[in-house]
């Protein structure tokens, strides 16, 4: 069955702490060439890579110089605009490098850097203020899933992240559902699990924010997405794309994910 949705699918490669700037250039070039050979239509599926901060300038130079239709994201952003915040990178600095998206609230940042819903909320506002689209990550750990409390847990993260945002602001974000137990484990959520949560997220936004904003909201699934399972995941009516870790580091995996319509 052909993919059929009013929302443009979005495929994001989260490279995490992998690849130096030379390897980043190599991967983006190979990805662009492979997608060109496959006659990829970027209007039909948006393609984004999220390198480390140190590679963003190199990726910008390549994308601008060769006019590549690939967009790029940061993996985080500071909630602060400027000042004495050693190690932080501001949304304004990222915007000046042509960064279109910022991954915010990834479970690895929540776990290893103690990021709270309040901080995630502040980072979303910082990104939006500079015209960067936040990719808000939410999702439950294994014990929450085992207790069947995954929907309530994930929607509470969503509520916290969106607190105080106007409907227009919520209309400018992307939500990624990433169950922690499915990240890097090879344990992929079933297409029904992904659809269940995507539907619940959309319904929550319709209820608490605005029905039209909810209808247009792009909701991604992340967690062990590979070329051989992406099509089933994308079959969920409320699933609009994927946030891909390990498989985004390999062109022969990520290019078919971007081109999932042809699989
Ligand atoms: O965390 C993820 C993307 O942000 C998912 O990682 P994997 O695709 O490696 O499971």
Residue nearest to atom 7 of ligand 1 (CA): 245
pLDDT in tens, 81-112: 999 999 999 999 999 999 999 999 999 999 99
d(CA 229, CA 188): 9
Complex prediction ipTM: 0.99
Map tokens 């390999």 to a residue.
Answer: 250
pLDDT confidence tier of residue 1, bands split at 50, 70 and 90: low
Active-site residue flag, 140: no
pLDDT confidence tier of residue 184, bands split at 50, 70 and 90: confident
85 C-alpha vs ligand 1 centroid, how far in Å? 28
Active-site residue flag, 178: yes
**What does pLDDT average to over the chain?**
97
pLDDT in tens, 227-240: 999 999 999 999 99
pLDDT in tens, 113-134: 999 999 999 999 999 999 999 9
As a CATH number, domain 10-259 is: 3.20.20.70
56, 76 Cβ separation under 8 angstroms: no
Pocket test of ligand 1: the residue of 183, 224, 242 to mutate, having most ligand atoms within 8 Å of its CB, is 183
pTM across the whole model: 0.97
Domain ranges of the chain: 10-259
Residue nearest to atom 2 of ligand 1 (CA): 245
178 C-alpha vs ligand 1 centroid, how far in Å? 8
């Amino acid at each position: 069955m052909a993919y059929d949705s009013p929302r443009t699918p979005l495929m994001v490669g989260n490279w995490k702490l992998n690849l130096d700037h030379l390897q980043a250039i190599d991967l983006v070039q190979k990805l662009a060439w492979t997608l060109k050979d496959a006659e990829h239509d970027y209007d039909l599926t948006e393609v984004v890579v999220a390198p480390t901060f140190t590679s963003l300038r190199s990726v910008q130079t390549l994308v601008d110089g060769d006019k590549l239709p690939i967009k790029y994201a940061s993996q985080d952003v500071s909630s602060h605009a400027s000042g004495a915040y050693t190690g932080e990178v501001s949304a304004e600095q990222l915007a000046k490098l042509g960064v279109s998206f910022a991954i915010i609230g990834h479970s690895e940042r929540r776990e290893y850097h103690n990021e709270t819903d309040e901080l995630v909320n502040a980072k979303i506002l910082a990104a939006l203020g500079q015209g960067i689209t936040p990719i808000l990550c939410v999702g439950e750990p294994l014990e929450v899933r085992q207790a069947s409390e995954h929907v309530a847990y994930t929607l509470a993260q969503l509520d916290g992240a969106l607190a105080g945002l106007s409907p227009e602001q919520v209309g400018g974000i992307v939500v990624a559902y990433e169950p922690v137990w499915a990240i890097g484990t090879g344990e992929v959520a079933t297409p029904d699990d992904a659809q269940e949560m995507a539907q619940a997220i959309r319904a929550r936004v319709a209820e608490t924010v605005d029905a039209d904003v909810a209808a247009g909201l792009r909701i991604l699934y992340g967690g062990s997405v590979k070329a051989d399972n992406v099509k089933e995941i994308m079959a969920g009516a409320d699933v609009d794309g994927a946030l891909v870790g390990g498989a985004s580091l390999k062109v022969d995996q990520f290019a078919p994910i971007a081109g999932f319509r042809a699989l």
